[in-house]
Structure 1
C-alpha cells in the first residue's frame, strides 16, 4: 500500500475525484455531503492496474479547515495536487502547495479536474510551473473528468508510476503514529486512525500515548477495512486500544514505541521561507497531525528557537511548517535541528548558538552530537533520533573523545591537588572528584581512572602520591630506630603520640606500607610478620601463647593479635587446647 493526500482549493473536485477512482464515499459526515465540501479528513482506497493499493487521505480545501488539511498531509509521503479546469489556480491552491513544500513532500501528481467543463491546458500549464518550483519538482500531470471518466485510466497509470518511485519505508523503525481521528466502536472501545509512515504494529503491542506517557495495548488492527494481526508501513491503519477511554487522546497526539521518543517543548530549527527576523512572535507549528502554538525567537538569518505550548515527540530531522492563521499564510518550512537545546542565559549565548546551528543540516550525527554535548546517555541520543553505535565509555554513557581525554587529564590534576591539601587521606573521594569535574555520574569518574591512578574503596590515588608526607616519614623512621633491637615491642599510644604518630598519621603510614597495624594503637614494622614466623618455627611444636610471647620478646597485647593474624593467613593453626603449630614458614 502507499498513501496519497489530496491538496487543492475548496470545491475543486478532490472528493469527487477520489470517489470516481475508488467507488467509495470519502466524505464522513452528513454535513459534508449536504454542503458539498470536505470539512474533516476522509479516507478511501483502490487497487491500481499493477495490483498496488493506494489509499487516499482526502483533505478539506476551505481556508477555515486548513488545520484539518495539514493534519492529513503531515504524515503522508505523497500528494495529489488538484486544480479545477474551469476555475484555475486559486488562493487555497497556493496555500496547500506552500504547505506541501514546507513539509518537504517530494512525491506527487498534478491533476486538473472538470476537463469536461473547460480547456484544461491553462490550468495544466500554471500548475506545472507552480509545482515545479517546490519540493515536488517536476511531476506527471493528468487532466480528468470524474463525470465522463476521461483521463481516469491515465491517472491510474500515473499513480502506479508514482508508487514505483516512492522510497521503501523503514519497517524496522520505531512507531510514531500521529492520530488524526478518535472514535469508539460498540463492544470494542476506543479506536484511533492515522498513517503509519514507519515501523510495524502488531496486536498486543504495548505503546505509549505521547501526551501523557501512559502505556496502552493494541487490542486489534484494521487496515482498509480488514482486520490484521500485523500492519507494516506505509499504511492507513485503525488501532483498537484495550481499556483506553476515548478522551485519553485525540487528533495531534501520537502512539509511540516505548522509550524511543522524547517529548520536547523547546527546539532549535532551520527555517525555509520567510526570514527569521520577519516572523511574528507567535505562530502555529504543524507537524504530523498536531497543531501547536509556538513562540518564535530568531537566532540567525534562517534559524530560530521555538517554545511550544505543549511537548511533542519530535526527532532531529523532522519536517514541520509554521503558519500564521491570522494572515492565512504559511510562513515557511521547519527542519528540526535540536530537540534538547542548551539554555541561552548568558550574554552572547544566542549569537554563539546561531553559529553552531548554521553548521547543522538536520541529519542525525553521533560524532557531532557528542562534540556539542560532550557527555550523553545512549537512551537520550535514541530519543533525539540519533543512531547510537560504537562502545560507550562506561554503562550507557557516550563521550566526545577529545573531551574524555581532557577529563582524564583534569582528574589526575584534581587527585594531585587533593593529595597536596589532604596528605594524610587515602586518596580523593570519588564523589568529591565528581563534583570538581562537574560530572553527572560517579561511574564516569571511576571509568576515567587509569594508571598511575588507582581506585580503592571509593577513593582515587596516584602511585606517585603514595609517598609519606615528610613529617610522618621522619616519625616512622624514629619509631623503627627506637625499636630496632626489640621489633616486636609495639609502643604504647602515648609514645606514638610523642613521636608525632596520631591515628591519621598511622593510617597514612599503614596505607603506604611503612607500618603494620595489628589492632588499635598496636603497630609493628612491615616485615614483622615474616620475622615472627621464623622465630615461631624454631620453637618446639606445638607451642603456647606464653612460649610465643617469650620467644618474640613482647607482651600479650602484641602477641595475641599477631598470632591471630598468622592464623588468618594460614601460616599457623590453632589446636583445640589453644596451642598452635606452624604450618608453613
Structure 2
C-alpha cells in the first residue's frame, strides 16, 4: 500500500478531487458536508494499476485547522498538493508548501483543479515557480477537472510514477504509530487510526503507550479486517488493556523496549529568522510545547513539555502559533548531554557542527565520551559492526581515539598513586574507572601494557616491588619458616620483624605471603603444599590428624583448613572430617 496526503488552500477542491479519484467521500462528518470544508482528517482509497492500493489522507485547508493538517501530513511520505485554476496562489497553499518543505517531503504531485472554469496555464506556471526552491521542486503539475474528468488519467499516471519512485519501507523496523484519530465502536471498544510508516502490526501484538502495554485485538486496513499490516499502510487498531482510555490523537504506540523517550533534543533548524522561546513542535501526528534554546549556527536545543520517541534524522516542524511562521527541524541527538557549565553550549555547537541527521555510529562515538550501544540502537543508530569501529565491552563503546586517551590517563593515574603509596601499589579497577568516567568493563578493555589487573588492582608491575626494609623482613620470615612452613610466627615475632598490618597487606598483594586469616602468616604456596601433604593421609582425615601432619597448632590449622575448603583444595564432610580434592576435579 501507498499513503498520500492531500494539501492546499481551503475550497480548492481537495475532497472533490479525492472523491473523483477513489469514488469515496473523505468528508465523514455531517458538519463537514454541511459547510463544504474539511474539518477533521478524511480518508479514502483506490487501486492504481502497477502500484496497488493507494490511501489518501485528506487534510483541512482552512487556516484554523493547521494543527490538524500537520497531524495528517507528518507521518506520510508523499503528497498531492491541490491549487485551483480560478484562484490566485493562496496563503494556505503557501503555508502547506512551507510545511512540506520543512518536513523534507520530496515526493509529490500538484493538481491544478477547476481546469474547466479557467485557463489552468497561469496556475500551472505559478505552481512550478513556487515549488522550484522547495523539496518538491520538479514535481509534476497536472491540470485537472474533477467535474468533467479532464486530466484525471494524466493525474493517475503522475501519481503512479511518483509512487513507484518512493524508497522501500522498512517493514521489519520498529513500530511507531502516531495516532491521528480515536473513537469507540460498540461491542469492540477503543479504535485508533494512523499511518504505519515502518514495521508490522498483527492481532495479538503488544504495543507500548506511556509505559504501559496495550494489546491489539484486531487490525483493519482499507476497511477490511486483516491478520497483520506492514508498512507503509493506513491502519485501524482495536486496542484493549490498562490505560487504553488515555490514548488519543497525538498519542504514539511503540514496539516495547525499542524506543528512547526523551524530553531534551538537539536539532538543526531551517527557515528564516529565529523561533520564539516557546514554539510548538509538530512531529508525526502530535504537537507538544517546547522551550527553544539557540546554540548558534542553525543549531538549537529543545526541551519538550512531555517526552517523545525521537530518532536521529527525524523531521519535524517548529511553529509560532502567533505569527504562524514555520521552521524545519532535523533531529540530531534525542539524548544529548546536559548543558550545566560555562562554555557547554559553545562546546556542544562545535560537536554538532558537522552533524547532518544521518545516523552514523562512528560520528556518535566521536561526539560521546562513552557510548551506550543499547541507547544508540533505540535512537536509530545502526550498531551492527561496532567492533570494527570501536573499543567495546558489552553495551559500552569508545572511539579508538578516546580509548587511547583513556589508556594514557590510566597509566598516569597509576604512576601517581604508586609514587605516593609504595606499600600499596596499583589502583582498584572500580576506583580508577570512576576517576576516568568509564564503566569498569570498558576500563578493562582499554588498558594497555604494561598496565594489567593483578591481584584485584590495576598496576604496571606483574609482581609489585616492595621497599628494601620490607624485603629484609620477608627474608627473615622465610628463614623462620624454612624448617616448619606451617608453624606461623607469633604476633611478638611479627612485631620484632617490623611486619605490621600495612606491611603484611602489601606483601600479601605482592604474593609474597599467604594470610588465611588475620594474624596467620605462611609462605606463598602454602595452600598447595598443605594439600599435597594432607593427600598422604588416609582419607578422610580429622582436624587433629591434619595438625599433626602439618606440624602446627590449632590456631593455624583451623583457618588454614577453611582456606583450603574455599579454594576447593579440600572438601569438608558433615562429620567435620575432610578429603583432599583430586587435582583433576579442582
Residue 520 of structure 1: how far off its partner (Å): 5.2
- Asked if residue 181 in structure 1 is aligned to residue 181 in structure 2, the reply is yes
Please name the residue that 2:501 is paired with. Answer: 503
Deviation string, structure 1 residues 38-92 (Cα, Å, up to 9, x no partner):
0110000111233622111001000000110110011111111111111131111
Alignment partner for residue 289 of structure 1, among 280, 285, 291?
Answer: 285
Residue 282 of structure 1 aligns to a residue whose secondary structure is: coil
Q: Does the 8 Å CA contact 2:212/2:242 hold for their aligned counterparts? A: no
Residue 28 of structure 2 aligns to a residue whose secondary structure is: coil
Alignment partner for residue 250 of structure 2, among 249, 252, 255?
Answer: 252
Residue 322 of structure 1 aligns to a residue whose secondary structure is: strand
Residue 373 of structure 1: how far off its partner (Å): 0.7
When residues 262 and 516 of structure 1 are mapped into structure 2, their CA distance, relative to the original with a 3 A threshold, is closer
Deviation string, structure 1 residues 13-59 (Cα, Å, up to 9, x no partner):
10011111111110121111111000110000111233622111001
Residue 342 of structure 1: how far off its partner (Å): 2.1
Matches of 2:568 and 2:232, distance apart in 1 = 70
Matches of 1:355 and 1:422, distance apart in 2 = 41
Q: Does the 8 Å CA contact 1:63/1:328 hold for their aligned counterparts? A: no
When residues 499 and 131 of structure 1 are mapped into structure 2, their CA distance, relative to the original with a 3 A threshold, is same
Please name the residue that 1:304 is paired with. Answer: 300
Please name the residue that 1:470 is paired with. Answer: 468
Greater Cα offset, 512-521 or 247-256: 512-521
Please name the residue that 2:156 is paired with. Answer: 156
Please name the residue that 1:231 is paired with. Answer: 229
Q: Does the 8 Å CA contact 2:221/2:236 hold for their aligned counterparts? A: yes
Matches of 1:549 and 1:228, distance apart in 2 = 80
Matches of 1:537 and 1:265, distance apart in 2 = 66
Greater Cα offset, 74-83 or 260-269: 260-269
Residue 415 of structure 1: how far off its partner (Å): 3.6
Residue 351 of structure 1 aligns to a residue whose secondary structure is: helix
Count of residues in Structure 1 that have an aligned counterpart in Structure 2: 571
Residue 198 of structure 1: how far off its partner (Å): 1.4
Residue 218 of structure 1: how far off its partner (Å): 1.2
Matches of 2:449 and 2:36, distance apart in 1 = 79
Residue 306 of structure 2 aligns to a residue whose secondary structure is: strand
Residue 287 of structure 1: how far off its partner (Å): 1.1
Residue 345 of structure 1: how far off its partner (Å): 2.4
TM-score normalised to the size of structure 2? Answer: 0.87
Residue 279 of structure 2 aligns to a residue whose secondary structure is: strand
Q: Does the 8 Å CA contact 1:282/1:294 hold for their aligned counterparts? A: yes
Please name the residue that 1:84 is paired with. Answer: 84
Residue 519 of structure 1: how far off its partner (Å): 6.0
Matches of 1:566 and 1:295, distance apart in 2 = 65
Q: Does the 8 Å CA contact 1:49/1:157 hold for their aligned counterparts? A: no
Residue 269 of structure 1 aligns to a residue whose secondary structure is: strand
When residues 448 and 128 of structure 1 are mapped into structure 2, their CA distance, relative to the original with a 3 A threshold, is closer
What does 1:388-427 correspond to in 2, within 5 Å? Answer: 388-390=383-385, 391=387, 393-425=392-424, 427=426
Greater Cα offset, 559-568 or 163-172: 559-568
Q: Does the 8 Å CA contact 1:182/1:246 hold for their aligned counterparts? A: no
Q: Does the 8 Å CA contact 2:15/2:27 hold for their aligned counterparts? A: yes
Alignment partner for residue 217 of structure 2, among 195, 216, 219?
Answer: 219
Residue 419 of structure 1: how far off its partner (Å): 4.0
Residue 405 of structure 2 aligns to a residue whose secondary structure is: helix
Alignment partner for residue 440 of structure 2, among 439, 442, 453?
Answer: 442
Matches of 1:385 and 1:268, distance apart in 2 = 15
- Asked if residue 18 in structure 1 is aligned to residue 18 in structure 2, the reply is yes
Greater Cα offset, 400-409 or 550-559: 550-559
Q: Does the 8 Å CA contact 1:5/1:73 hold for their aligned counterparts? A: yes
Please list every run of 5 or more consecutive structure 2 residues that lacks an aligned counterpart in the other structure: none
Matches of 1:139 and 1:190, distance apart in 2 = 39
Please name the residue that 2:206 is paired with. Answer: 206
Residue 393 of structure 2 aligns to a residue whose secondary structure is: coil
When residues 58 and 517 of structure 1 are mapped into structure 2, their CA distance, relative to the original with a 3 A threshold, is closer
Deviation string, structure 1 residues 305-355 (Cα, Å, up to 9, x no partner):
22222221111111111222212332x211111112222222222222222
Residue 428 of structure 1 aligns to a residue whose secondary structure is: coil
When residues 531 and 435 of structure 1 are mapped into structure 2, their CA distance, relative to the original with a 3 A threshold, is closer
Matches of 2:25 and 2:355, distance apart in 1 = 45
TM-score normalised to the size of structure 1? Answer: 0.87
Please name the residue that 2:325 is paired with. Answer: 329
Matches of 1:454 and 1:533, distance apart in 2 = 30
Matches of 1:423 and 1:161, distance apart in 2 = 77
Residue 463 of structure 1 aligns to a residue whose secondary structure is: coil
Matches of 1:547 and 1:259, distance apart in 2 = 61
Residue 170 of structure 1: how far off its partner (Å): 1.4
Please name the residue that 1:7 is paired with. Answer: 7
Please name the residue that 1:368 is paired with. Answer: 363
Matches of 1:393 and 1:9, distance apart in 2 = 54
When residues 244 and 225 of structure 1 are mapped into structure 2, their CA distance, relative to the original with a 3 A threshold, is farther
Q: Does the 8 Å CA contact 1:219/1:242 hold for their aligned counterparts? A: yes
Residue 570 of structure 1: how far off its partner (Å): 8.2
Alignment partner for residue 313 of structure 1, among 309, 323, 329?
Answer: 309
Q: Does the 8 Å CA contact 2:8/2:81 hold for their aligned counterparts? A: yes
Q: Does the 8 Å CA contact 1:192/1:238 hold for their aligned counterparts? A: yes
Residue 407 of structure 1: how far off its partner (Å): 2.0
Q: Does the 8 Å CA contact 1:80/1:111 hold for their aligned counterparts? A: yes
When residues 454 and 64 of structure 1 are mapped into structure 2, their CA distance, relative to the original with a 3 A threshold, is same
Please name the residue that 1:68 is paired with. Answer: 68
- Asked if residue 113 in structure 1 is aligned to residue 109 in structure 2, the reply is no
Matches of 2:436 and 2:261, distance apart in 1 = 29
Please list every run of 5 or more consecutive structure 1 residues that lacks an aligned counterpart in the other structure: none
Residue 183 of structure 1: how far off its partner (Å): 0.8
